[in-house]
Each structure stands twice: as C-alpha cells, then as structure tokens.
Structure 1
Amino acid sequence: MFWTLGSIYGASAVAFGAFGAHGLKKKIADPSKIAAWNTAAHYQLVHSGMILLTAAAAPKNKIAAGCFAAGITMFSGSIYLLTLDPQRFKALGPVTPIGGLFLIAGWTALAVGSRGKFLPKAS
C-alpha cells in the first residue's frame, strides 16, 4: 500500500510542481504564494521518496510511512489549498505546521525503528 501511495504522491508532486512553474503564474501574481506552492511541491516530492524508501528498506515501519503520508497530505495539501483560495481555506492555516510535525515524526520513527540497521558493522 505505501509503495503505491508513495508513487502516486511522487507523480502528483511533479505535476503540482509543473503547474506551479507554468500554470499558476497565470492565476497568481504574488511571488511569495508561488514560492509557498513550490515549497509544498518540493516537500511532497522528497517525502514521497521517503515513503518509497521506507516501504522498501523498512517495510515493517508502518508508523514512519504513515507519518510521512499524513505529513504530505496536511503540509503540502494545506499549502496548495491556501495558495489557490486563501479566503475559502483559511481555517487550514494551523494544519500546515501539524503536517510538518508529522513529517518530523516520520523521520524520527524511521530513525528509532531502524536501530542503525543500515550502518556497517564494526569489524
């Protein structure tokens, strides 16, 4: 499940990034909103890769993968919606940092769950 989700999030991150680079500028003139959109796409792409890595290298670590997925949805998703229609979605403002906390939790869960399995053993 997480492999599929990470792949879908990765593909959509590229699509959202392309839209931000080409289509969004026709609708939004504020450079800070364009920058926010690009940040959301960047974080989505990086953490999509982390979902894939977690699914492949630590498949039992469902907490890490789940935190990455929740973080992408909340962090990037709220930024996309706030950029497109800030008045309509202003209630989502607090969701962005909560999503960031989930991304941090995913990294932490990966570190704690892996217990250094990828470090070479000392001879």
Structure 2
Amino acid sequence: MKTITLVFGAVYGMLSVILGAFGAHALKKILSVERLESFETGVRYQMYAAFFLLIVGYVLKFETKTENWISWLMIFGTMLFSFSIYGLSMQDYLGANLKFLGPITPLGGLFMILSWGMLIFYFFKNRI
C-alpha cells in the first residue's frame, strides 16, 4: 500500500503541473473565466492531494486498515473530485452534457475530508 500511495502522490503531482499549464495556456483561450476558475480549483486540490499522499506514504506504516483507508479515501476522493470538475469545466467545449458529474464532485470532496479526519484520528490514537 505504501508504494501505491507514493505512486498516486507522484502521478497526481505530475498531472497537476501538466493540467495547470494546459489550463493557463490552452484553456484560457476557450473557456469562460468561471469555467477556468473551476478547472484551476480541480488542479489545486489535486496538488494538495499529491502532497498529502506523498507525506502519508512516508509517515504511515500501512499495518492497519485505518492506515490503508486514509490513502484509499484520498486517492478515490481526488479522482472523483478533481476529474469531475475537469469534465464539468470542459463540457461546453466538448459539446457534451456532463451534468451527471455534478453530484460526484461533493462525494469526492467528502472522501477527501474523511481521509483528513481519519488521519487526525490516527495521530491522536498513536500520539505521533
């Protein structure tokens, strides 16, 4: 699980830089200011998750289910949160109705919040 966590952290970080540059250059010309701001929110939270996963990957030993859930919730939460925002931001440009992604964004955010909460609980329990 440690390797999975670190790999996802590195991949999310790399994709954040790529998508951030893509948004700042290519998408700036084709998206509305509101859609571009939403896209940038997805990129920002994806980078936060990358840092979270990299740090957690080095701090936790992944010997318990709680430790594993901390990572999985952040991995899947980020996927649901950021990637649904990317789809919603691009839907006009793509000419696709992706409104079904709307409820997925807060679900991803909830998973991310739960991951943070479990990490806090873990720290209190283990007095790290």
TM-score relative to the length of structure 1 = 0.89
Judged with a 3 Å threshold, the aligned counterparts in structure 2 of structure 1 residues 59 and 52 are, in CA distance, closer, same or farther, namely: farther
Confirm or deny: 8 A CA contact 1:58 1:114 kept in the other structure.
no
Unaligned regions of 5+ residues in structure 1, if any?
119-123
Secondary structure at the counterpart of residue 85 of structure 1 = helix
The answer to whether the aligner puts 1:62 opposite 2:68 as a matched pair is yes
TM-score relative to the length of structure 2 = 0.86
Question: Is the helix fraction higher in 1 or 2?
Answer: 2
Corresponding residue of 2:48: 46
- AA at the equivalent of 2:127: K
Residue deviations 1:61-82, cap 9 Å, x none? Answer: 1111111111110000000011
- AA at the equivalent of 2:33: P
Corresponding residue of 1:23: 26
Residue deviations 1:75-121, cap 9 Å, x none? Answer: 00000011111543111110000011011001011111222633xxx
| Aligned-partner Cα distance in 2 for 1:74–1:12 | 15
Secondary structure at the counterpart of residue 97 of structure 2 = coil
Confirm or deny: 8 A CA contact 1:75 1:96 kept in the other structure.
yes
Corresponding residue of 2:7: 4
The answer to whether the aligner puts 1:117 opposite 2:117 as a matched pair is no
Q: Which of residues 108, 111, 115 is equivalent to 1:106?
A: 115
Judged with a 3 Å threshold, the aligned counterparts in structure 2 of structure 1 residues 59 and 23 are, in CA distance, closer, same or farther, namely: farther
* More off after superposition, 81-90 vs 102-111: 81-90
Confirm or deny: 8 A CA contact 1:36 1:83 kept in the other structure.
yes
Q: When the two structures are aligned, how many residues end up with a matched partner?
A: 117
| Aligned-partner Cα distance in 2 for 1:100–1:83 | 17
Corresponding residue of 1:75: 81
The answer to whether the aligner puts 1:33 opposite 2:35 as a matched pair is yes
| Aligned-partner Cα distance in 1 for 2:101–2:118 | 25
Percent of residue pairs bearing the same amino acid type = 32
RMSD of aligned residue pairs (Cα, Å): 1.3
